[in-house]
């Protein structure tokens, strides 16, 4: 009988792992580079495994334990094509359950209760649990989705800065700062955009929030637009007696003041973080609970 569970939060900025016993006590933690399975599958696999190895080391467990643990890996894009199955096969754990980042986020935030979560980091994704049934939306990646993601905020900033450079749209202190960072050279902005992964674009999100808080018009426009997208997505999931909305991820706090009043009124502190959700699910699998498999 397996005795150890590993929960892994495979995020767009880093992978975090924790090893726990059958009762959910965390024995060790690990961290490695990002997982962006759609844009870099091999690198993502390396980082997922490295974060697990580090958690086992942190727990003082021998390296070969990795082949004896039951793991839950939550990662954006796990619902796309056969990625979950491919990742599952490539991982060295005894059992691998590859689920969406949204599922582990919901489990961490709500435990086993009903409610809606929105997670805002490099990507953005929403999930609801209503009468125990799960429904997820968003999380399609920043090229054709993730309207409130850090990656989209950064991409929007670059686009608005180039429009300001061309004098097609107004400039602002924020677009001036962005252009100055590239020596005032739009070609270098374009080169950055073409060489960049979602995480690189998302690196500009804090700057956009900072300038929006100071009233910079371009920054305010970008954030308001993203906050509208959040509102539309929450409205698509909410039901009249929904007890709670939890906002998660690095951009949750910055977005709070920009939300509509009807959503602010439902905001609840998450019970635990995304990694905690992965640990919870991994422990449930270890205990033989199969109900948590529903995902999408």
- Residues forming contacts to a second copy in the complex (CB under 8 A) are 38-39, 77, 79-81, 137-138, 140-141, 143-145, 155, 158-159, 162-163, 166-169, 186-191, 193-194, 232-233, 236
How many CB atoms are located within 10 Å of the residue 242 CB?
A: 16
Considering the complex, state which of residue 80 and residue 213 has its C-beta at the smaller distance from a second copy.
80
- Smallest distance from a second copy to CB 169, Å: 7
- Determine the Cα–Cα distance for residues 91 and 84; give it in Å rounded to an integer: 11
Q: Which of 99, 107, 104, 55 is nearest to 80 (CA)?
A: 99
Q: Which of 125, 123, 135, 106 is nearest to 281 (CA)?
A: 106
- Smallest distance from a second copy to CB 193, Å: 4
Considering the complex, state which of residue 155 and residue 199 has its C-beta at the smaller distance from a second copy.
155
Strand partners, 118: 126, 247
In this structure, what is the dihedral angle of CA atoms 110, 23, 2, 80, given to the nearest 10 degrees? 10
- Smallest distance from a second copy to CB 166, Å: 4
- Smallest distance from a second copy to CB 252, Å: 19
Q: Which of 149, 157, 146 is nearest to 222 (CA)?
A: 157
Three-state secondary structure call for residue 31: strand
Considering the complex, state which of residue 112 and residue 232 has its C-beta at the smaller distance from a second copy.
232
Tokens matching residue 123: 């990507």
Considering the complex, state which of residue 213 and residue 238 has its C-beta at the smaller distance from a second copy.
238
- Smallest distance from a second copy to CB 136, Å: 9
Considering the complex, state which of residue 184 and residue 215 has its C-beta at the smaller distance from a second copy.
184
For the purposes of burial, counting CB atoms within 10 Å of the CB of 216, is it exposed (0-12), middle (13-18) or buried (19 or more)? buried
**From the centroid of its chain, how far is CA 102?**
7
Give the angle subtended at the CA of 216 by the CAs of 161 and 171, to the nearest 5°. 35
- Smallest distance from a second copy to CB 17, Å: 26
Considering the complex, state which of residue 236 and residue 260 has its C-beta at the smaller distance from a second copy.
236
């Amino acid at each position: 009988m397996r005795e150890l569970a590993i929960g892994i939060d495979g995020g767009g900025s880093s992978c975090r792992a924790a090893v726990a016993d059958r009762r959910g006590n965390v024995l060790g933690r690990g961290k490695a580079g990002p997982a962006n399975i759609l844009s870099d599958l091999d690198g993502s696999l390396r980082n997922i495994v490295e974060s697990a190895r580090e958690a086992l080391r942190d727990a003082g467990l021998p390296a070969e334990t990795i082949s004896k643990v039951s793991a839950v890996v939550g990662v954006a894009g796990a619902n796309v094509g056969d990625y979950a199955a491919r990742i599952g096969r490539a991982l060295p754990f005894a059992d691998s359950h590859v689920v969406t980042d949204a599922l582990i986020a919901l489990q961490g935030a709500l435990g086993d209760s009903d409610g809606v979560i929105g997670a805002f980091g490099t990507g953005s994704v929403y999930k609801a649990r209503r009468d125990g049934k799960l429904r997820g939306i968003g999380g399609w990646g920043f090229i054709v989705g993730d309207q409130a993601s850090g990656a989209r905020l950064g991409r929007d900033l670059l686009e608005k800065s180039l429009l300001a450079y061309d004098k097609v749209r107004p400039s602002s202190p924020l677009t001036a700062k962005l252009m100055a960072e590239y020596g005032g050279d739009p070609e270098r902005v374009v080169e950055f955009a073409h060489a960049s992964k979602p995480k690189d674009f998302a690196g500009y999100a804090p700057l956009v929030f900072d300038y929006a808080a100071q009233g910079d018009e371009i920054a305010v426009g970008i954030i308001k637009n993203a906050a509208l997208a959040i509102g539309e997505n929450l409205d698509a999931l909410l039901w009249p007696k929904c007890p709670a909305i939890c906002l998660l991820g690095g951009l949750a706090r910055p977005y709070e003041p920009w939300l509509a009043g009807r959503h602010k009124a439902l905001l609840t502190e998450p019970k635990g973080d995304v990694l905690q959700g992965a640990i919870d699910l991994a422990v449930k699998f270890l205990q033989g609970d199969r109900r948590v498999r529903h995902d999408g």
